[in-house]
Amino acid sequence: MTAEILSGAAEPYRIRPGKAMRAASDAVPPSGLVLLAILSVQVGAGLAKHLFAQLPPSAVVFLRITTGALILVAVARPKVRGLTRRDLAVGIGFGLSLGLMNWSFYEALTRLPIGIAVAIEFIGPLTVAVAASHRRRDLLWVALAAAGVLLIAPWGQGGAGQGGAAIWTGIGFAAFAGVCWAAYILLAAATGARFPGASGLSFAMIVATILITPVGVVSGGAALLQPEILLLGAGVGLLSSVIPYSLELEALRRMPKRVFGVLMSLEPAVAALVGLFVLGEVLRVREWTAIGCVVIASIGATRSEG
């Protein structure tokens, strides 16, 4: 269970890849697939951050979610016939958590280095994983991750000044993204139990698109009509959603979920490296220590399972 929690992937939404894709992925070890998925997600986030110079975060989120929704709906059309109002409410809640998670994370990216934003956001799924373990000693992992966040906070700046205020705002957005990620995980399981196949996820993607479209279109304006912007936005959607999701599902088919969860715990560290080499975001020793706390906490929570 922890593997899916740390990845955000939901088992009920398994989509079987084509024979060509499976043949290609079989040539790569499952651990390599997980690392490629993590790298794809974070490079996608890095590409999104580059787009912030031309588009506000809400517009970039709109492009990402719309791309994912179009591809997913083409593969698995939503099936709502026979569902109750409660079923639909769960699916709508799932979609809202998905949309808000992406919006708040991108807002955090405008104010924080990508590694820091991912580390803070990761506390959401970590908390869900620890809560699911029913072991009080696992609360120590949450405490370790929280200590990492405390290292990130700009205490020396006293919260005053433009720099300190921006960091605090970024931390708030990243923390809210973590809360949305936790809600996404819980609602994913409930949606998967109520919707057939992958239709619940495609339904949620439509809801998320409807949620973000007004603010995304208004904030993006005429820039959204530029072909190069649309192409880059589609690239963000492919790198951040479609490609990693497919790789994660294939990896889960070929490796123990516990090992998968440990590898996924490396995501904050990979994000920091992408920030360093792709975006030129140089972190201080204290910030690397904070990321290390979150990574160790995530690995600890995963290894203590079972």
251-263 tens-digit pLDDT:
878 888 778 888 8
pLDDT band at 214, cuts 50/70/90? Answer: very high
10 Å Cβ neighbour count for 273?
18
Least confident interval from 3-12, 28-37, 124-133, 210-219: 3-12
Q: What is the dihedral of CA 28, 34, 39, 42, to 10 degrees?
A: 160
Q: For residue 159, what pLDDT is reported? A: 46
Report yes or no: 59 and 224 within 8 Å, Cβ to Cβ. yes
Q: For residue 156, what pLDDT is reported? A: 59
Q: What is the dihedral of CA 109, 191, 92, 118, to 10 degrees?
A: -10
pLDDT band at 19, cuts 50/70/90? Answer: low
State yes or no: pLDDT of 166 exceeds 90: no
Q: For residue 220, what pLDDT is reported? A: 94
Tell me the CA distances in angstroms from 176 to 2, 120, 198, 217, one per residue in order: 21, 9, 26, 23
* Both tokens assigned to 297: 């906490």
Rounded to 5°, angle at Cα 212 from 236 and 82: 105
Q: For residue 9, what pLDDT is reported? A: 47
Q: What's the whole-number mean pLDDT along residues 5-9?
A: 50
Which pLDDT tens digit goes with each residue over 54-112? 999 999 999 999 998 998 888 878 888 888 999 999 999 999 999 999 999 999 999 99
d(CA 47, CA 24): 25
State yes or no: pLDDT of 16 exceeds 80: no
pLDDT band at 250, cuts 50/70/90? Answer: confident
Angle between helices 85-109 and 161-194 (to 10 degrees): 150
pTM of the model: 0.87
d(CA 152, CA 150): 5
Q: What's the whole-number mean pLDDT along residues 233-239?
A: 91
Report yes or no: 151 and 31 within 8 Å, Cβ to Cβ. no
- More confidently predicted of 210 and 136: 210
Report yes or no: 212 and 62 within 8 Å, Cβ to Cβ. yes
10 Å Cβ neighbour count for 137?
10
Angle between helices 114-121 and 285-303 (to 10 degrees): 30
d(CA 280, CA 113): 10
State yes or no: pLDDT of 305 exceeds 60: no
Which pLDDT tens digit goes with each residue over 126-163? 888 888 777 778 888 889 998 998 888 876 554 445 56
